[in-house]
Every structure is written in C-alpha cells, then in structure tokens.
Amino acid sequence: MAGDRITYRECIKQAIREAMLADERVFMMGEDVGHYGGAFAVSKNLLQEFGPKRIMDTPLSEAGFVGAGIGAALGGMLPIVEIMTVNFSLLALDQIANNAATLLHMSGGQFNVPLVIRMSTGIGRQLAAQHSHSWEPIFAHIPGLRILSAGTHEDARYMLAPALADPDPVIIFEYTSMLNIERGLPETKTGVDISKAKVRREGRDITIITYGTGVYKALESASELAAAGIEAEVVDLRVLRPLDEETIVASVAKTSRAFIVEDASRSVSVSSEVSARIMEKCFYDLDAPVQRLCGAEVPIPYPKHLEDASVPQPAQIVTAIKKILQHDRV
C-alpha cells in the first residue's frame, strides 16, 4: 500500500539524512552540496542541520574530492561523494578505476574502501551534451565496483543504507529527469537487496529488462500492452554490476521472449551484456530473437524534442513488443 506522495529528489535527501543520523562516520562531500544545497537541491538545508564537517563543499576538482573520499574510507569513515553529473565523473575515473576499485585486490585483501559515490545521470533538464549522458555501461565494466541504478522512488529512498553497509566501493546512479516526479512509498520501510534485480510486474508473454528511467516507462508500456491482451513481465536490473543473472534467466525461461530497454547508446552497453548472457544461458528457451531499444548514438542534443527523441519512449516500447508478438502469431 502506497503512502503519501513524495518526489524522487526528496527520497534521495531523506536517505542521506537518515544515514547521517544513524552513524556519525557518515559525511557527504561534493561541489555545491553545502551552502547552495546541491546542484539539484538534493542536499538543501543539510548543511544547517549537520554542519560543515559533515556536509562539505569541495573545490571543482572531481579527482581531488573523490580521492579524498577514498582516503577517508580507508581511514574508517563512511563518505558519500556526490559527483554533480555523470559526465564530470570521467574527471575522477582514475581515482575510481585505479584506486577505489583495486585497493582491496592490490593490498591482498587488507584494505576495504567503503565509499559511496552518487551521481546524477541522463537527460531531463536540457543540459545538453556535457551533462546528460547515460554512461552506466562504462562503470559497469570495471571489476571491484558495485554499480546500482535507482530507477524507482523506493530504491532512491532505501538503496543508500545497504550501499553504505557494503565494505567495498558502490556507485549509485540517480536520474535527473525523475527528480520532480512524485510517487507514493510503501507505508512500511522496505529493505533493498543490492545484489538482486527485482521483478516489478509479473507477466507471461515477454520479459522487458530495463533499469533507470526505463523502469517507469516499461511499467507504463506493460499497462498499455495488457489492454491489448499482452502480459509483459518487467525486470528492473537495478544492480548493473554484478548482474543478477539468476533473475534474468528465470524470467526469460518463463516468457520465452526478451526485450531490453536502456537510455545508454546501444554499442557496448548493459543491454549488450544482458543479451549475450541470455543467449549463453537460455537460448533454447527463446521463441524469438532477443531485441533491444536503446538511446541514439549521438551526443545528447539541447532542444527538448530532440532530447526526448534521443532515448526510448513508451510508445516505441509498445510498438516494438506488439511486432514481436504478432510475428510469433503469423
């Protein structure tokens, strides 16, 4: 049963506040997270509540403050590092890939890095090609990281706590286009298993596998398809590394068809990996080829109509799935 409606932004803020109240080792750092309240107002008023030692404004140096977060984690703190947008995360990629992800291995298991990095991702505010990409696949490629995608309000609210409890580095992708969307949360607090995908809707005819902004689009599409007599199962990957292969395989074995949706461009993407694993693990269960609907292979455009056209939309999902099912019935 859903409770009062709440924005996706407020879900993230409540999760941060709850974590800081629960453990004095938790602190947050990033560009404009303090006095300005965050580029997307996620941390508004937290500086006033927790003070400058726990809500820390940093210089405009992603490599510098991510490196400081790694050092704090090694020293026993539980840092939450906010990177303003996914595009800026590339400036910190050396710290993430060569330090955070490798120190446990390089130290022979002596040094965990309990670091959480949050970053805003994707289109939604006409921020164009240097602020709007969907680069989850880049990070999902790196061993030593756990990569999470908060594609629902429930995950935005409850994913941070288990991420902070993980002894190793976790990256949480949050979605710019969802910040102002309101939804109800379960009335009772729910835990999020950050090792498992989640079946958001049961179905029998086809499995829609997605993550991030694709989750609500897939659910909207599934409702429209149901009116046409097609029951689509929706699997929210939510853990992009390591992938929950068991849930994917179980769903596809049940429906015998798979359709993968993601905002990231098609080439060398999460959908590429999921498609390959379906072929490897349940090829003989398939009644149709695996198909994908991905973001356009372009720098994200500024105009609103082109920004929307650069990522999958529900109408495209519905049309594609009807074609798959109609082909089966010819």
Which positions are annotated as active-site residues? 62, 131
Specify the residue for token string 């049309």.
319
At 293, list the tokens: 């609907």
Q: Please state, in angstroms and rounded to a whole number, the distance separating the CA atoms of residues 178 and 157.
A: 13
Q: Please state, in angstroms and rounded to a whole number, the distance separating the CA atoms of residues 233 and 225.
A: 11
Contact 73, 99 (CB under 8 A): no
Cβ-count burial of 155 within 10 angstroms (0-12 exposed, 13-18 middle, 19+ buried)?
A: buried
Provide the CA 114 distance to its chain's centre, in angstroms: 19
261 Cβ contact partners less than 8 Å away, ≥ 6 residues apart: 208, 209, 210, 214, 217, 218, 271, 292, 293, 294, 312, 317
At 238, list the tokens: 């939510």
Torsion sign over Cα 21, 27, 32, 34: positive
Buried b (16+ CB within 10 A) or exposed e, 236-271: bbbbbbebbeebbbebbeebbbbbbbbbbbeeebbb
At 201, list the tokens: 């809707």
Contact 191, 162 (CB under 8 A): yes
Q: Please state, in angstroms and rounded to a whole number, the distance separating the CA atoms of residues 301 and 121.
A: 15
Cis peptide before 143, with omega less than 30 degrees from 0?
no
